[in-house]
Amino acid sequence: MNRTTRILTLFALYCSVAVFSYIFSWKLRFGFYAGVDGIPERFSDRIVMQGYIVVSLKLICLYALGQFTGLVRFFRMPDAIRLFAASCMASFIAVLVWIVSSYVYVPPASILLVDFILFTFLVMGLRVGIRVIDEKRKGLSCSGKTLERVAVVGAGQAGSALVTELLSQPKLGMRVVVFFDDSRAKHSRQLHGVSIAGSPELIPSYFRTHDLDKVILAMPSAKPERLREIISLLKKHNIPVETVPSVGEIVSGKFNVSKIREVNIEDLLYRDPVEINFEEIKKFVGGNVVLLTGAGGSIGQELATQLASMQPSLLILLDRSEGALFLTEKMLLDSEMEVSLETRVVDVKDRQQLEAVFEAFKPSIVYHAAAHKHVGMMERQPMEAFLNNALATYEFAKLAVKHSVRNFCLISTDKAVYPTSVMGATKRLAELAIQALIAQGKCGATDFSIVRFGNVIGSSGSVIPIFEKQIDRGGPVTVTDSKMTRYFMTIPEAVGLVLQATSFQEKHALFVLEMGQPVKIDAVARDLIRLKGLEPGVDIEIVYTGAKPGEKLSEVLQYDEEALLPSAHPKVSRIASDQTGCVDAVAFLSDFNEFTERAASKPADLVRLELFGLLDGRIELQGVSVQSALVKGD
């Protein structure tokens, strides 16, 4: 139906219900066989006129509460509340008229009471009936398709939303036939007419005897340990398992039953959901010209997406990879977000090109995510790592100061803490270069912030995509060491916290993201194998290769000498301001510039030695040498 036809049809239906409940109220009050003569004379000549008023009040109140414009076939508790409120409002106004007019314009209070009860139940029954007919119609239209018999783990809010959506959308081809839940209080009860059979441990036996097709996990806030137990049990019995989206997706409004997906490693590593104050970020970013480097990388893409949603006046995306930048641009354009975009293929080492970008667009906020991140590759190309990660950051920061950028944020890494790799060392040099500018008071109007965090799941070079490819090939899966641990965080979560940290607008701050507990890489590999329905050591071999050059068995996010202070967000900490400056800014920058000239023509081994020599005595506060840092890193 078009909008006009739908409104007229609803008007006719609501009007019919209102008229019926009004007439029926008189019949109940004075008898079904009394006729007009059985109604007291003082009322009989006013019934029709009073009916016009009562019915009109109901229709006006229904319209005022949006009951002519909503989607009629979807009827849930909020709709029932609005219908009840409309009926109450109409009856309340009628009672006021009755008091003022002394029976003249509306019928007696007893008629109004009966009419209120009848109309409320009838109009709700009408809406329920429309939904039932709609679902039956959809069911008939899908009758040639056999519905999958589904068991749902989790009889909470997510499980309730899931079964409701599947009932209203038969075309999705799934029918929930049983629930399982950890709460004993729910066992042997029902949710939306579906039985809650017991704990998830009963699924294998129930699966065999009740002809189920698959299991859907609807417990987005469950602890990863519990998810591992359930998934391991199901995979052991070759039971297909899928999941609803995570808490973060549900909270952000992205929950949709059509997004039921296979369980992935993020679900097993997911920590307590992180709440981001997007309104604060929007106040910080909105209406400003924002420049982002490294926009083609995995972190850069997510930064671009979240920044675009904050309504900047202009979002400038830079990357030296044309292909990667094109994909980011296309993703944003396809998302239909209303954002003004400029994309430029620019190498952050090219000062002249960067100068042109600053001159043309005059950004007020800069996020510097461009960096070489692959540890092994940078061990072989230490000079390239230095030029791109350290020197380019220093020159870029000076350009930001020259062009009066309001806020400049450097994306750093946990590998910059007690670095044992070239990549980590060059990122630490980038941190120190910015801190040297701060220490010398050469920041002008620019506030600098550095955000340091660990591994993110799914980023380029992350161990998880490598493990997945190895499993798909049949193994073996190569793990550095059974004791190796890393911090893990989802990309959207990490980027959200980066934006949250910069929105604090603290002057020259070094932030550290709370990464949760470190996770054993060996456990990640085994979980990934089990997610594929295979058994580690049986179907897929795990081989331990030993640490490669530059690798550490564990990472830390701060030096021992760095004191962490709380910030405005519980998942973001700030390094005490008196510990973020370098020991001697003048000496450091002098050595920094000398190294740039001196090391350019030297072989990689010598460059690597001189690179760590440049950090000697400057790893953190006085008294910490490169040697002690290397020992700490091991």
The encoded tokens of residue 466 equal 């490598």
Q: Are residue 61 and residue 18 in the same domain, yes or no?
A: yes
Provide the pLDDT for residue 213. 86
What's the CATH number where 206 sits? 3.40.50.720
Split into its structural domains, the chain has a count of 3
Q: Is residue 268 part of a domain?
A: no
Parent domain of 239: 148-263
On whether both 126 and 152 belong to a single domain, the answer is: no
Dihedral sign computed on CA atoms, order 446, 451, 457, 463: positive
Per-residue pLDDT tens over the stretch 568-613? 888 888 887 554 445 577 888 888 888 888 877 788 888 888 888 8
403 pLDDT above the threshold of 60: yes
Q: What is the pLDDT of residue 618?
A: 52
User: Average pLDDT, stretch 425-432?
Assistant: 92
Cα–Cα distance for residue pair 288/125, rounded to 1 Å:
52
Task: Indicate if 244 and 330 belong to the same structural domain.
Answer: no
Residues 93 and 182 in one domain: no
Residues 120 and 153 in one domain: no
pLDDT value of position 623: 34
Which of 140, 156, 171 is the endpoint of a domain? 140
**Residue 615 and residue 626 in contact, taking contact as beta carbons nearer than 8 Å:** yes
- Lowest mean pLDDT: which of 238-247, 277-286, 358-367, 409-418? 238-247
End-to-end CA distance of the chain: 70
Question: Which of 303, 297, 331 is closest to 315 using CA atoms?
Answer: 303
Please state the rounded mean pLDDT for residues 409-437: 91
Q: In 3D, which of 416, 409, 357, 407 has the Cα closest to residue 385?
A: 416
Query: What does the pLDDT read at residue 35?
Result: 53
CB atoms within 10 A of CB 19: 16
250 has a pLDDT exceeding 50: no
Compute the average pLDDT of residues 93-107. 78
Q: Among 107, 140, 173, give the residue marking a domain's end.
A: 140
Same domain, 292 and 259: no
Tell me, yes or no, whether 363 and 500 share the same domain: yes
365 in a structural domain: yes
* Radius of gyration for the alpha carbons in the chain, expressed in angstroms and rounded: 33
Question: Per residue in 443-500, pLDDT tens?
Answer: 888 999 999 888 776 665 567 778 888 988 888 999 988 888 887 777 888 899 999 9
In a domain, 270, yes or no: no
Residue 271 located in a structural domain = no
Phi and psi at residue 242, in whole multiples of 5°?
-130, 180
Q: Reply yes or no on whether the pLDDT at 104 is more than 60.
A: yes
pLDDT of residue 634: 38
Indicate the residue type of 148. E
Q: Calculate mean pLDDT across residues 215-223.
A: 81
| pLDDT band (50, 70, 90) for residue 411 | very high
Domain boundary among 140, 173, 194: 140
Highest-scoring range by mean pLDDT, 145-154, 429-438, 624-633: 429-438
In a shared domain, residues 306 and 365: yes
Q: Is residue 467 part of a domain?
A: yes
Confidence of residue 624 (pLDDT cuts 50, 70, 90): very low
Q: Are residues 101 and 32 in the same domain?
A: yes
In b/e form, how buried is each residue of 170-183, taking b as 16+ CB within 10 angstroms? beeebbbbbbbbbe
pLDDT at 281: 92
Q: Which of the two residues, 77 and 410, has the higher pLDDT score?
A: 410
For 162-179, write each residue's pLDDT tens digit.
887 777 777 777 888 899
Q: Report the percent of the chain where pLDDT is more than 90.
A: 24
193 pLDDT more than 90: no
Averaged confidence pLDDT in the chain:
81
Q: Give the 3-state secondary structure of residue 419.
A: coil
Query: In this structure, are 393 and 540 located in the same domain?
Result: yes
Query: Is residue 562 situated within a structural domain?
Result: yes
269 in any annotated domain: no
Name residue, tokens 């609005």.
82
- Regarding whether 283 and 246 lie in a shared domain, the answer is no
Residue 315 has pLDDT above 60, yes or no: yes
pLDDT value at 251 more than 50? no
pLDDT, mean of residues 346-363: 94
Please tell me whether the overall predicted TM-score, pTM, comes out greater than 0.75 for this model.
no
- Return the pLDDT at 3: 67
Task: Evaluate if residue 259 carries a pLDDT over 70.
Answer: no
Q: How many angstroms from the chain centroid is the CA of residue 214?
A: 26
When pLDDT is averaged across residues 35-48 and rounded to a whole number, the result is 65
Pair (124, 241) in one structural domain: no
